[in-house]
Amino acid sequence: MVLGTTLMKGAGDPYYSPMFPRGGLTGYFRVDVQQIWGTSPTLDITIEHKNEDDTAFTTAGSFTQITASGSATKTQSTLKEIIRLKFVVGGTEAYAGMHFLLLAPQWLPQ
């Protein structure tokens, strides 16, 4: 069994998580980067949200850019009904990438 997600830069297009319902007004998001490869790899994670009747997602907040192995967290408040995460891998080569675990968000009432 392989745990986690591996993303590579490729053409530089974003990856998106599946949509999921908000569990509280504030979410605590955490990612644990376990492996990196390539020259100067980066990972940008954006929290996007929308209400059921909205036609497009908007940005709720972003993690600080990830450039090394380890944990990164983001607490985001005032979230709308539906959430997804946008991942953009950067680096010098198309094969630059990262392997990481994305933990389930912890939800807070405010």
Q: What is the DSSP string of 84-99?
A: EEEEEEE-SSTT-EEE
Domain boundaries along the sequence of the chain? 5-108
Q: Is 63's pLDDT higher than 80?
A: yes
Q: How far apart are the first and last CA of the chain?
A: 37
**C-alpha 87, offset from chain centre:** 5
This prediction has a pTM of 0.95
Phi, psi of 80 (to 5 degrees): -80, -170
Percent of the chain with pLDDT over 70: 99
**C-alpha 40, offset from chain centre:** 19
* Secondary structure of 36-52 as H, E, C letters: EECCCCEEEEEEEEECC
**pLDDT of res. 17:** 97
H and E: helices and strands count for the chain: 0, 10
**pLDDT of res. 2:** 74
pLDDT tens figures, 27-56: 999 999 999 999 999 999 999 999 999 999
Query: Tokens for 54?
Result: 């909205």
**pLDDT of res. 1:** 65
Which DSSP letter does residue 55 get? S
Token pair 């954006």: residue:
46
Calculate mean pLDDT across residues 73-84: 97
Fold assignment, 5-108: Jelly Rolls (2.60.120)
Mean pLDDT of the chain: 96
